[in-house]
């Protein structure tokens, strides 16, 4: 039997495919990951053919038996790939013919094209990956951060703008901030899933199904929320791939910023946290080093995911309507994106659940100049306009610096009154970091009550 008769498209061709062209064209080395989706889709599709009378009940039973055997082989890593297996669809159909005979196996493709078959598989694979891996893993990451924030809510640290000490906050407030980002990512992923969980199966190559198959039946049996209403769109739409990878890029942007903060906080200069040995490495030359490689990899792999998206967009942007082979580029980039994101979530969860917090170092990093805004607020409460108090507080900071004092709390009441006579002795009550954070008890603030509300709201979102 010639090579071409083994291919789903081989009857038109009499010459053999160039060896390099076969390798260039083959996608089995990476699309084998969709074997469960492919077998599931074929099971349901053949049930649809049986409803039309195009398969007998006995033929359907044999087909389903063969598909179950193939799944067992894949699950047990015993499936033998052949050189002419172009993709997962070809491989599974070839193996089905070996198990139940080619006469019956040859019927499974009746009215179906690889155009609707491959994109059906891909949508099922994406849905399963989101539901079975990304959503539960992301929920666990947020849960870990919430629990840690509740447990360590008394720890104070500097908050930063422009990477300069700004105002005191709680460590839990920092944890809550990234838990908020990741919860928004979780909600956004659910929305993406809702949009792409539509069935293209039964659209044929591009023009629709010639035997009137019940596409709504196929969609329901495969767990889709409906069908894609236009057959041209059904086979050629890859917006869901782009959107899912865009979701991955945005999530990895959040992960990268999260990692960057922790890299900074782990340095000797800051010393706010210490990473677990499980998520650190050493130096090949300097024995004293403990490197935050887990965090650096999280930061670095964000660029990889960004590249997956932009690379596929370049492949997609210029192709004409309906299916074109360029679309085969969707899988490697998508699979890499999803795997990288999944692993990044797991690593981030491991890092945040095992690091130790040096709360004394955090407290030591708090300086009185960070309460300059509180000093301005002190005068606001006495009826002075904020723009005026902002200027007055700045004068106090400048005066303390010019006198070589360690902080604005070291100025005397007489020196304060020379700057502004409305200062009273009770201004020194302002210089308390705990009271500073507790004053900010409005929704979203860094007071205990405000943080606990944030954490409770995040928990409810999960």
Residue in the block written with tokens 């949508």? 123
Whether residues 306 and 167 share a domain: the answer is yes
Last residue of a domain, one of 79, 105, 131: 105
Whether residues 247 and 161 share a domain: the answer is yes
User: For residue 383, what pLDDT is reported?
Assistant: 92
Q: Does position 11 have pLDDT exceeding 60, yes or no?
A: no
The string of pLDDT tens digits covering residues 191-202 is 999 999 999 999
Mean pLDDT of the chain: 93
Residues in the chain: 462
Whether residues 72 and 175 share a domain: the answer is no
Q: Which residues on adjacent β-strands are paired with residue 156? A: 170
Q: Using alpha carbons, select from 89, 108, 114, 121 the residue that is nearest to residue 48.
A: 108
User: For residue 440, what pLDDT is reported?
Assistant: 95
**Dihedral of alpha carbons 37, 42, 43, 49, sign:** positive
User: For residue 202, what pLDDT is reported?
Assistant: 97
pLDDT > 70: percent of the chain: 95
Worst-scoring range by mean pLDDT, 188-192, 241-245, 270-274, 289-293?
A: 289-293
| DSSP symbol at 6 | G
273 by DSSP, 3-state: which?
A: strand
pLDDT band for position 280 (cuts 50, 70, 90):
confident
pLDDT band for position 327 (cuts 50, 70, 90):
confident
pLDDT band for position 330 (cuts 50, 70, 90):
very high
Is residue 330 within 8 Å of 314, Cβ to Cβ?
no
Cβ atoms within 10 A of the Cβ of 179, count?
Answer: 26
Rounded to 10 degrees, the C-alpha dihedral 150/152/157/162 comes to: -50
Structure-token pair, residue 424? 């009273």
| E strand intervals along 143-265 | 156-161, 164-170
For residues 138 and 433, give the distance between their C-alpha atoms in angstroms, rounded to a whole number.
34
Whether residues 286 and 169 share a domain: the answer is yes
Last residue of a domain, one of 331, 364, 397: 364
User: For residue 17, what pLDDT is reported?
Assistant: 63
Domain with residue 421: its CATH number is 1.10.40.30
Q: Does position 398 have pLDDT exceeding 90, yes or no?
A: yes
227 by DSSP, 3-state: which?
A: strand
What mean pLDDT do residues 288-306 have?
90
- Pick the catalytic residue: 2, 61, 276, 283? 283
Whether residues 280 and 393 share a domain: the answer is no
Who has greater pLDDT, 67 or 279?
67
Task: Name the pTM for this structure.
Answer: 0.90
Helix axes 448-461, 171-196, angle to 10 degrees: 20
What mean pLDDT do residues 40-55 have?
98
pLDDT > 90: percent of the chain: 87
Is residue 181 within 8 Å of 261, Cβ to Cβ?
no
Worst-scoring range by mean pLDDT, 3-7, 94-98, 359-363, 393-397?
A: 3-7
Helix (H) or strand (E) holding 8: none
What mean pLDDT do residues 347-367 have?
96
The string of pLDDT tens digits covering residues 118-162 is 999 999 999 999 999 999 999 999 999 999 999 999 999 999 999
Is residue 318 within 8 Å of 282, Cβ to Cβ?
no
Whether residues 372 and 447 share a domain: the answer is yes
User: For residue 165, what pLDDT is reported?
Assistant: 94
Q: Which domain holds residue 400?
A: 368-461
User: For residue 158, what pLDDT is reported?
Assistant: 97
User: For residue 23, what pLDDT is reported?
Assistant: 76
User: For residue 24, what pLDDT is reported?
Assistant: 79
Domain with residue 337: its CATH number is 1.20.200.10
Q: What is the residue-wise DSSP string for 287-299?
A: TT--B-HHHHHHH
User: For residue 1, what pLDDT is reported?
Assistant: 37
Whether residues 340 and 372 share a domain: the answer is no
**Could you give the number of structural domains in the chain?**
3
Whether residues 353 and 452 share a domain: the answer is no
What mean pLDDT do residues 28-38 have?
94
Is residue 447 within 8 Å of 457, Cβ to Cβ?
no
What mean pLDDT do residues 204-226 have?
96
User: For residue 4, what pLDDT is reported?
Assistant: 41
Q: Using alpha carbons, select from 232, 253, 28, 22 the residue that is nearest to residue 121.
A: 28
Whether residues 122 and 89 share a domain: the answer is no
Q: Does position 15 have pLDDT exceeding 70, yes or no?
A: no
Whether residues 63 and 168 share a domain: the answer is no
User: For residue 2, what pLDDT is reported?
Assistant: 41
Domain with residue 78: its CATH number is 1.10.275.10
Contacts of 357-362 spanning 24+ positions with Cβ under 8 A: 357/152, 357/155, 357/171, 357/272, 357/273, 358/271, 358/272, 358/273, 358/274, 359/152, 359/154, 359/155, 359/156, 359/171, 361/270, 361/271, 361/272, 362/155, 362/156, 362/157, 362/158, 362/171, 362/272
Q: Does position 270 have pLDDT exceeding 90, yes or no?
A: yes
Whether residues 40 and 177 share a domain: the answer is no
Last residue of a domain, one of 336, 364, 392: 364
Q: Using alpha carbons, select from 250, 242, 209, 244 the residue that is nearest to residue 227.
A: 209
Is residue 64 within 8 Å of 46, Cβ to Cβ?
yes
What mean pLDDT do residues 26-51 have?
95
User: For residue 20, what pLDDT is reported?
Assistant: 83
Residue 198's Cβ-side half-sphere holds a number of Cα atoms within 13 Å equal to 19
For residues 166 and 175, give the distance between their C-alpha atoms in angstroms, rounded to a whole number.
17
pLDDT band for position 3 (cuts 50, 70, 90):
very low
Q: Which residues on adjacent β-strands are paired with residue 167? A: 159
Whether residues 225 and 159 share a domain: the answer is yes
Q: Does position 21 have pLDDT exceeding 90, yes or no?
A: no
283 catalytic per annotation: yes
User: For residue 286, what pLDDT is reported?
Assistant: 66
Three-state secondary structure readout of 113-175 = CHHHHHHHHHHHHHHHHHHHHHHHHHHHHHHHHHHHHHHCCCCEEEEEECCEEEEEEEHHHHH
| DSSP symbol at 304 | H
User: For residue 27, what pLDDT is reported?
Assistant: 86
pLDDT band for position 232 (cuts 50, 70, 90):
very high
pLDDT band for position 454 (cuts 50, 70, 90):
very high
């Amino acid at each position: 039997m010639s090579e071409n008769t083994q291919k789903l498209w081989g009857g038109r061709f009499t010459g053999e495919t160039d060896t390099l062209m076969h390798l260039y064209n083959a996608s089995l080395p990476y699309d084998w990951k969709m074997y469960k989706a492919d077998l599931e889709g074929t099971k349901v599709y053949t049930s649809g053919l049986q409803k039309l009378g195009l398969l007998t009940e006995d033929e359907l039973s044999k087909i389903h038996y063969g598909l179950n055997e193939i799944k067992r082989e894949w699950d047990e890593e015993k499936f033998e790939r052949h050189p002419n297996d172009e993709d997962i669809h070809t491989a599974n159909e070839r193996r089905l013919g070996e198990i139940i005979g080619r006469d019956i196996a040859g019927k499974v493709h009746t009215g179906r094209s690889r155009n609707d078959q491959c994109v059906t598989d891909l949508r099922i694979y994406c849905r399963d990956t989101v539901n079975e891996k990304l959503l539960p893993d992301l929920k666990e990451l947020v849960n870990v951060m919430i629990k840690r924030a509740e447990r360590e809510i008394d720890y104070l640290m500097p908050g930063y703008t422009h990477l300069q000490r700004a105002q005191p906050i709680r460590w839990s407030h920092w944890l809550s901030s990234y838990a908020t980002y990741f919860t928004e990512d979780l909600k956004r992923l659910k929305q993406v899933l809702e949009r792409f969980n539509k069935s293209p199966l039964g659209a044929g190559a591009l023009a629709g199904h010639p035997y009137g198959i019940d596409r709504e039946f196929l969609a329901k049996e495969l767990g889709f929320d409906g069908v894609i209403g236009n057959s041209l769109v059904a086979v050629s739409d890859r917006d869901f791939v782009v959107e899912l990878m865009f979701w991955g890029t945005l999530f990895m942007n959040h992960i990268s910023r999260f990692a960057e903060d922790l890299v900074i906080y782990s340095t000797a200069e800051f010393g706010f946290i210490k990473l677990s040995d499980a998520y650190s490495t050493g130096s090949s030359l300097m024995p004293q080093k403990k490197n935050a490689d887990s965090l650096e990899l999280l930061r670095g792999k964000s660029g990889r995911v960004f590249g997956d998206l932009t690379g596929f967009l370049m492949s997609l942007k210029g192709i004409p309507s309906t299916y074109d082979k360029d679309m085969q580029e969707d899988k490697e980039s998508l699979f890499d994106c999803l795997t990288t994101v999944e692993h990044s979530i797991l690593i981030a969860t491991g890092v945040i659940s095992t690091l130790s917090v040096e709360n004394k170092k955090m407290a030591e990093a708090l300086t009185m100049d960070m309460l300059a805004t509180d000093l301005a607020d002190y005068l606001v409460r006495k009826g002075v306009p904020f723009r005026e108090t902002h200027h007055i507080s700045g004068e106090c900071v400048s005066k303390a610096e010019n006198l070589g004092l360690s902080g604005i709390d070291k100025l005397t009441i007489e020196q304060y009154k020379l700057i502004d006579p409305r200062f009273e002795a009770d201004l020194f009550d302002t210089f308390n970091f705990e009271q500073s954070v507790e004053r900010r008890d409005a929704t979203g603030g860094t007071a205990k009550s405000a943080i606990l509300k944030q954490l409770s709201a995040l928990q409810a979102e999960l």
